[in-house]
Structure 1
């Protein structure tokens, strides 16, 4: 599916050799004062696939997402979006990203429509582009009939759907989500995970999904296991299992994220 909006295409098409690597993380390290929270983190997020950043609470996932989304400035290393360097080319390279943060960011007193329209304005969408994107995304999540309701009238699962819809209004080629299913019931979590996999498969979206829940991993996903600020394993499910010496992901995750006990 060809993304409908043109404003990010220059970034995507800036070099055919890099077109198949939407997002590359290259040796990122980060310190809060003297405390190191990320150490030489490197991996790639390919087109048309879900890459699951899997790690326990406190592993450094949110800090890494802060670096990816520009909320934090990299101290060591770099990230590249379709081959363009964040450090060299500046914040403009982030235009290809759609972002969903762990903490809710909707205005509860505005309607669903108003929240989406405000965001569309920030992204520079025209009125016709906004109308088309809002309808497409809300119908996808079966929320079209509730577009005039204040967000505070929605339950947690519906609010999350609105946040994902907002991030996808301009069909970004890269979508990054930081623990978006925290606090949701199991059926809602499953529905959101299924939607993200559909976007990757059908639309070719490169998706980076941070979670600490192994049941959100599907066969065929790429995995990056993060623990204590470092990558413990990365690759396909089979490669991660091989790296751990286990045959089930839950056991592999427990082994890879085990903290060495003091002697």
Structure 2
């Protein structure tokens, strides 16, 4: 293992516009292996556009995105093979069982039946969901459905996990369980996480913060560095100052 591994995600000079409306303006940041980076911004900040560019739902015109050293534009299949994603909108088939949903996704990544069985068991057991593997997704509550989606995103052992506001609409215990689990995942497995949210209480003290507002990075760094940049003592106050509108 090298002492200075390459970033799991590197975004450099990324800009994107919808017609004349600029959604992202020269956005640059990096996420290291084992790091949980929180992409913090209000609605309309550009978080969804950024995720759409990283996942190649949109093609970037300006700037560069690399996942585990692979350029998303030049070698998209290799780059996206290193990526797991949980979108804000649920994408599980409600009428299939947990196992059926996961096996289908594993087959898309070329996993053999034996590999899929092992990986599915491992990921579901880590979240206490293995005993519910034969239940239809429709029978699960929102928090358990999210756990299945996270397990699905991890089946192919990606280097980077994208989470697009995955706790929206969940009750407090479900939210806390997912937040705790993802942070443990970073420290235990070394996967990098980019978590888009506007909820301050989902941030841990040792997370990396990227504050996005009006398509531009307003501050980036450790929690203490961002607080210093904003000149305040709490993340909530920093968020307010860094994303407030000009009078």
TM-score class, shorter: over 0.9
Q: Which residue of 2 aligns with 1:36?
A: 22
Distance 2:3 2:227 in 1: 31
Is 2:157 the counterpart of 1:171? Answer: yes
Contact 2:163 2:194 in 1 (8 A): yes
Structure 2 residues not aligned, in runs of 5+: none
Distance 2:219 2:191 in 1: 23
Q: For residues 151-166 of structure 1, what are the structure 2 equivalents within 5 Å? A: 151-166=137-152
2:75 pairs with 69, 89, 92, which one? 89
Q: 1:84, CA displacement in angstroms?
A: 2.3
Q: TM-score, normalised by structure 2?
A: 0.96
Q: 1:18, CA displacement in angstroms?
A: 7.9
2:9 pairs with 1, 23, 41, which one? 23
Contact 1:70 1:91 in 2 (8 A): no
Change (3 A) 1:91 1:28: farther
Q: Which residue of 2 aligns with 1:250?
A: 236
Q: TM-score, normalised by structure 1?
A: 0.91
Q: For residues 112-261 of structure 1, what are the structure 2 equivalents within 5 Å? A: 112-261=98-247
Deviations 1:147-198 (A, max 9, x none): 1111111111110010001001122121111100000111111110111111
Contact 2:70 2:79 in 1 (8 A): yes
Contact 1:26 1:79 in 2 (8 A): yes
Structure 1 residues not aligned, in runs of 5+: 1-12
Contact 2:15 2:26 in 1 (8 A): yes
2:43 pairs with 57, 70, 78, which one? 57
Contact 1:246 1:252 in 2 (8 A): yes
SS of equivalent residue, structure 1 residue 243: helix
Contact 2:161 2:192 in 1 (8 A): yes
SS of equivalent residue, structure 1 residue 258: coil
Q: 1:259, CA displacement in angstroms?
A: 0.8
Aligned length: 247
Aligned alpha-carbon RMSD (Å): 1.5
User: Which deviates more from structure 2 when the two are superposed, residues 206-215 or residues 78-87?
Assistant: 78-87
